[in-house]
Structures are given as structure tokens and as C-alpha cells.
Amino acid sequence: CLLLLLLLLLLLLLLLLLFTTSADSSSFSIDYKNNCFRKDGKPFQFISGSIHYSRIPREYWKDRLLKMYMTGLNAIQVYVPWNFHETVQGVFNFAGDRDLEYFLNLANQTGLLVILRPGPYICAEWEMGGLPAWLLQKPNIILRSADTEYLKAASDWFGVLLTKMRPWLYQNGGNIISVQVENEYGSYFACDYNYMRHLHTLFRLFLGEDVILFTTDGNTDKEMICGTLEGLYATIDFGTDTNITAAFIRQRRFEPKGPLVNSEFYTGWLDHWGDKHASVDTVKVSKMLGEMLSMGASVNMYMFEGGTNFGYWNGADHDTRFRSVVTSYDYNAPLSEAGDPTDKLLAIRDVIKNFRDIPVGPMPPATPKFAYGFVTLQKVWTLLDTLSPQGPVQSQYPLTFEEIKQYYGFMLYRTTLPRNVPEPTPLISPLNGIHDRAYVSVNGVYQGLMERDTALVMNVTGQQGDQLDILVENMGRVHFGSYINDNKGLLGNLILGNDVLTDWSIYPLDIDTAVANGWLQAAHSGSGMEAGDGPMIYSGTLKPTGLAWDTFVKLNGWTKGQVWVNGVNLGRYWPQRGPQQTLYVPRPFLSATQPNNITVLELERAPSHRRILFMDRPQEHPSNYIPKTHPILLKRDRSIKNKIL
């Protein structure tokens, strides 16, 4: 019996020793004495790349992560868009393309650590910087501050998200090595330290005391002062136009000891509609990456794989005027929008080889592409009841998208002309209340458009009692700066001549559901084959070929609108404004054996040929669009500080 007892005690000691060793081996911390990170007790330098699961089909997550791993990265940086998971208040969605834990598990299986950036604000050139639009139902809410309503909503969200994330912390056996609190907060006007303290307390409550919490801010004193907080490790971000030494000296002023970290080293840049396509020189990127790594700095490359703003998820900037981000988030990154390795990736891999061992084996190839050719579309006649089954909201004056709880897409505002207007009469938005584009028709005849900041007046004619329809498009909410309280729709009265227009019927349009359910495919007109002016829906079929490969759709001659393939919203097209000329169609959206349903909402004018072309490569061109700012707006003195590359 005594021998058995001794054996049991010995076994317990061994188990305790094993547990202690295992716990000690799963640690990630900051060594302030030696100015480095420590992973499992050993010095560690991360070489990371940003990837947004919300911009990539779930079926391609593994492919993109493997390519990043084979480049030599040992970590990835991941934003969590709040509005992607809680589009409707209190309804949380982590399924399918929103399955964050599945994504983290794939990264873990691939051998990649994770730097998590849960916000609540993320910027990311994403719709409203990741904040849900339902927050704007509180008209006086101060976002990203200690505003009571905002803190309550953010706290509820983090109660769900961070609880899910805690098991994925490296100390708990997962792969999350650090977590960012807020995002580039120093760029925001509020500079509310009580807000940052609240978030700090919240993160510690849900994640514990051991995980590294950090901040990221731009390379100016003002941004670092307002964005940093005691107890959160301060990091910096900058691109190839910056002096590395000067930038890290600035980080040292706010974080005298610990590792040097560039949390966003810009490998490229975003595009707005009307911009020249942005790019950053490969030689500059690879040279500067090597210099930072030689200094012992940990670096995250933003972006490494950009992806696509499918649906309505693109953001917008607002400096002197509103500028919407294009559908492609290619970002001139090392992996293209379609996940293909580029020369920039190969150059980066050659740099990384000098600092750590590259995984053995070939780089996974580009996904196969196919040119399916032309598809001819037919005009669709559809009843308003199909697009707005719940019917209109009646209001004396216009209501916003947020007031009607239609957060994305389109709404139709309908009223009648209050008097005869036989001569062209100005229809005016006196307070720049068109957010963002309005397509105007009288008795179903297209009159023209009004546009935020640039086209606030147009002429109409008609008779008293004629039906006036104004289709308003939300082009994506502002994602950066002081104007993120970006309500959509008609934000004020419209004036026809001297008359204020009243008695509106406002229809929230659920075009996506109508397309997904096939209601528009079934509503082909028998004879209305001609193209026309104004908003119209077209549909057609891409016949099965036995192949379901990536492709790109080009809308040559079309003006502006939205495309769906098999019910999936590919995003916006606007070839006349550019620079983007094609929309990416990933393989998972297509069927190799069944007809593929194509739906196009053209907002201004379709070409007479009504054809679209499926190609095996993307296209863009330098935009020659020259914006015109309305004289009313030229009088305004606005001084928003932009992100600087």
C-alpha cells in the first residue's frame, strides 16, 4: 500500500511538472529590459501581414493564409468589423463568411500567429469604419467617445466578441499574441481619455491580465498624444515616404522601452472613384522592410492581401468633398485582389529570407482564371411591391435611411409636383442634403441626377400632380475623420422653385432579397429589350461550361450600378469614373453545372448592346475624372487631417 501511495504521489508530481512546463511554454510578453517581445521565453520578432476575412470568400481563406505563410510571415493582423457581425442591433452573426473562429483556426493550423484588431472602430476603408449604422438612430450620439449610448452598445458587443476570443489567446493555447484597443484614435477629434480608459478596463475584464494590449497611431505627435494610454503598449504606423529613424524616435518618446513596432507598413494604397490607380514601388517596400527588420523592429505589412468590398461594404473619405472607395480593395498588395502572388510578394520573400527560415516547398500557384465571354442581358419589368414588400413609410418631410432602419443600398422617395412647371425649374438641395446620389424621374421619365457636394441643383418640368421619384443611393459611409456620423438619404428638404416638397412616400428597397430569391429573373419583359435612361434592372444567364473558375466581369458602355451573380452582390461598377473597370467574380460564386444568374442594376444609362464580358484578368485605367465642388461648399472652411501614406 505504501509503495502504491508513493507511486501515486510521484505521478501527481510529474503531472504537475508537465502542466507547469506547458503553461510556461505558452507565453507571449514584452521584455522592456531588452526591447523585444518574448515568445515562450525566447526573443521574438514578428513579420506580419494584414488580411481581412470579411473581404475574402470563406472558401479561399486557407489558400490566402497558406500563401502568406509560404512567403515567410509568422503572423497575420486581423480587423474585426463590428457592423459585419451585428448589422442589426442585438443580432450577432458568426456563421459562414463571418465565422471568425473558423478563420482563426485555419491560421493556427497553417502556423500563423494572430494580431487581433477588434476596434470597436477599425477604419480599414470599410463602411463607417466598422461601426454599425444603427448607432446613428441616436441623432446626437458622439461616436468613439464616452457617450453613454455609444459605450453601452460597444460594451454589449465586446461582451459577445471578446468572450469568444479569450480561448484563442496564445496564453490559453490559441494563436492570438496581442490585441489592439481602438484604432488610430489620435486621428479623431474627440481625444477622450475616459473612453480609452473604459475600453482598457473592458478588454482586461474579458481577456485577462496577461495578454498584450496595444495602440496604433499615425506618425505625428498629436496622433500619438491622443491615441496612447498608460497600460497600452504604443506602436506607430508609416509608409515608404517616411524616415524610419525619425518615426521610431517618435515611438520611443511615448514608449521609452520595449520593441520597435510598425503596425501598418503600407505596401500600397486604396483607390477612390475618380482617382488615378494607387501604387507603391516594390523596390521601396522591400528596401524599407529590410531596414526595419535589421533594426530588430517587428513589422506588419498593410495590406498583404486586400480582397474585395463586396455588396455595400466599401467606405468613403470626406476631406473637401465626399469620395467613395471603389469595390476592389486590391491595394497594390503583395497578394492581388484575387489572391495571386505578385512580384512584390517575391521581393518581400527575398528580404524575409535574410531574417528567418522560409518554409520549404513551392508557393501555391495563382487560382485558375477563365474568360467565359459575353452574356447579353434583358431588361426586367418589376413591381415596386417586389422590391419593397412592406410598403412605404408616409412622412410630411424626408426621412433618412437610419430613421427607417434601411442601413445600406437604396431608398425611393416619392411625391407629386405641387404645381405646373412647364419651363425648366430648379430642384434644389439647399443644405447639401443628398447622401449620396439621387436619380430623379417624373412620371417614370428620367430627368437626371443630384450628387453630394457636387451637383445640388437640377431642372425638372411637369404638371401639377405628376409623380416625382427620387431614388437615393448610399455610396458607403465615411470611414475616417470627423464625419463618420454619416447619415444617408435625403437629409433635408428639397425645394422646387419656391416650393418646399412635402407629403413623401418613402420605400426602403430590398433589392438583394429580390435577386437572391429569383424574383427578378422570373420577371423578364417580353418586348422591352431596348436600353433606356435612368434606373433599370437587367438580367441574363451565364451558361454552364463544366468549369467554375475565377473570372472578372467588364461592363463596357454601362454607366454606374451594381452586379449580382447567383444572388451574391459583387459590388459597385462605375467604369466612366474609374479607375476600376472590372469586378472580381470568385470561383465559389459560380456553378460549373447549373445556369448562373446575372443581375445588373444600371442607375443611369445602359448601352444598346446590353452585353457584359467575363474576362480572365482584371482591368483598370488612370481616371481622367475631374471633380467639381459646388460653390456653396467652397465657402466652407474644413480642415480634416487625412491619413498620410
pLDDT, tens digit, for every residue of 476-490? Answer: 999 999 999 999 999
**Is the model's pLDDT at 251 over the cut of 70?**
yes
Question: Residues 173, 70, 236, 81: what is their CA dihedral angle, to the nearest 10 degrees?
Answer: -70
Three-state secondary structure call for residue 346: helix
Three-class secondary structure assignment of 404-425: HCCCCCEEEEEEECCCCEEEEE
Q: Estimate to the nearest angstrom the gap between the alpha carbon of 589 and the chain centroid.
A: 19
Residues 248 and 245: their CA atoms lie apart, in Å, by 5
**Is the model's pLDDT at 381 over the cut of 90?**
no
Residues 373 and 578: their CA atoms lie apart, in Å, by 22
Q: Given pLDDT bands bounded at 50, 70 and 90, which one contains residue 384?
A: confident
Neighbours of 525 (CB within 10 A): 11
- Report the pLDDT averaged over residues 604-614: 97
Provide the pLDDT for residue 1: 60
Burial code of 582-619, b = ≥16 C-beta within 10 A, e = fewer? bbbbbbebbeeeeebbbbbbbbbbbeeebbbbbbeebe
Residues 469 and 285: their CA atoms lie apart, in Å, by 50
Instruction: Give per-residue pLDDT as tens, 65-86.
Output: 999 999 999 999 999 999 999 9
Provide the pLDDT for residue 25: 73
Q: Which residues are catalytic?
A: 184, 264
Residue 110 φ/ψ, nearest 5 degrees: -75, -20
Provide the pLDDT for residue 13: 64
Q: Given pLDDT bands bounded at 50, 70 and 90, which one contains residue 382?
A: confident
DSSP-assigned beta bridge partners for residue 49? 76, 301
Residue 231 φ/ψ, nearest 5 degrees: 100, -10
**Domains contained in the chain, CATH given:** 24-353 (3.20.20.80), 373-380+513-615 (2.60.120.260), 390-509 (2.60.120.260)
Residues 473 and 412: their CA atoms lie apart, in Å, by 9
Residues 306 and 104: their CA atoms lie apart, in Å, by 18
Write out the H or E segment, with its range, that includes residue 158: helix 148-165
**Is the model's pLDDT at 246 over the cut of 80?**
yes
Residues 6 and 3: their CA atoms lie apart, in Å, by 5
| 8 Å CB contact between 460 and 421 | yes
Residues 472 and 98: their CA atoms lie apart, in Å, by 28
**Is the model's pLDDT at 637 over the cut of 80?**
no
Provide the pLDDT for residue 159: 98
Residue 560 φ/ψ, nearest 5 degrees: -160, 140
Provide the pLDDT for residue 525: 52
Three-state secondary structure call for residue 351: helix
Better-predicted residue by pLDDT, 601 or 643: 601
98: closest CA among 85, 107, 87? 85
The reply to whether the predicted model has a pTM over 0.95 is no
| 8 Å CB contact between 523 and 567 | no
Write out the H or E segment, with its range, that includes residue 17: helix 2-25
Q: Given pLDDT bands bounded at 50, 70 and 90, which one contains residue 519?
A: confident
Instruction: Give per-residue pLDDT as tens, 575-596.
Output: 999 999 999 999 999 999 999 9
Better-predicted residue by pLDDT, 482 or 2: 482
Three-state secondary structure call for residue 465: coil
- Report the pLDDT averaged over residues 490-507: 97
| 8 Å CB contact between 347 and 286 | yes
Burial code of 106-131, b = ≥16 C-beta within 10 A, e = fewer? bbbebebbbbbbbbbbbbbbbbbbbb
**Is the model's pLDDT at 624 over the cut of 60?**
no
Instruction: Give per-residue pLDDT as tens, 345-376.
Output: 999 999 999 999 999 999 999 999 999 999 99
User: If you ran DSSP here, which 8-state letter would residue 603 be given?
Assistant: S
- Report the pLDDT averaged over residues 596-605: 97
Provide the pLDDT for residue 643: 33
Show Cβ contacts of residue 370 under 8 Å, excluding neighbours closer than 6 positions. 545, 547, 549, 550, 551, 614, 616
**Is the model's pLDDT at 401 over the cut of 60?**
yes
**Is the model's pLDDT at 134 over the cut of 70?**
yes
Residue type, 210: D
Provide the pLDDT for residue 561: 98
Each as own residue / partner, the long-range contacts of residues 289-295 (CB below 8 Å, 24 or more positions apart, any chain) are: 289/265, 289/348, 289/351, 290/351, 290/354, 291/244, 292/244, 292/260, 292/262, 292/265, 293/45, 293/47, 293/351, 293/352, 293/354, 293/355, 295/244, 295/248, 295/260
Would you state the cell numbers that stand for residue 458, as one nine-digit string? 437640377
Better-predicted residue by pLDDT, 532 or 487: 487
Average pLDDT in the chain: 92
User: If you ran DSSP here, which 8-state letter would residue 461 be given?
Assistant: E
Instruction: Give per-residue pLDDT as tens, 22-37.
Output: 444 799 999 999 999 9
Provide the pLDDT for residue 636: 32
Show Cβ contacts of residue 446 under 8 Å, excluding neighbours closer than 6 positions. 439, 440, 532, 533, 534, 535
Q: Given pLDDT bands bounded at 50, 70 and 90, which one contains residue 520?
A: confident
Instruction: Give per-residue pLDDT as tens, 434-477.
Output: 999 999 999 999 999 999 999 999 999 999 999 999 999 999 99
Residues 306 and 474: their CA atoms lie apart, in Å, by 23
Residues 52 and 56: their CA atoms lie apart, in Å, by 7
Instruction: Give per-residue pLDDT as tens, 154-170.
Output: 999 999 999 999 999 99
- Report the pLDDT averaged over residues 251-278: 97
- Report the pLDDT averaged over residues 605-632: 73
Q: What is the DSSP string of 204-268?
A: HHHH-SSSEEEEEE-SSHHHHHHH--TTSEEEEEE-TTS-HHHHHHHHHHH-SSS--EEEEEESS
Provide the pLDDT for residue 19: 47
Write out the H or E segment, with its range, that includes residue 107: helix 100-110
Residues 254 and 393: their CA atoms lie apart, in Å, by 53
Residues 533 and 379: their CA atoms lie apart, in Å, by 12
Provide the pLDDT for residue 521: 73
Residue 397 φ/ψ, nearest 5 degrees: -120, 160
- Report the pLDDT averaged over residues 557-566: 98
- Report the pLDDT averaged over residues 112-123: 98
Provide the pLDDT for residue 641: 31
Write out the H or E segment, with its range, that includes residue 513: helix 511-516
Residues 379 and 608: their CA atoms lie apart, in Å, by 11
Write out the H or E segment, with its range, that includes residue 633: helix 631-634
DSSP-assigned beta bridge partners for residue 12? none
**Is the model's pLDDT at 50 over the cut of 70?**
yes
**Is the model's pLDDT at 9 over the cut of 80?**
no
**Is the model's pLDDT at 309 over the cut of 60?**
yes
User: If you ran DSSP here, which 8-state letter would residue 80 be given?
Assistant: -
Instruction: Give per-residue pLDDT as tens, 191-209.
Output: 999 999 999 999 999 999 9
Better-predicted residue by pLDDT, 149 or 18: 149
Residues 619 and 277: their CA atoms lie apart, in Å, by 11
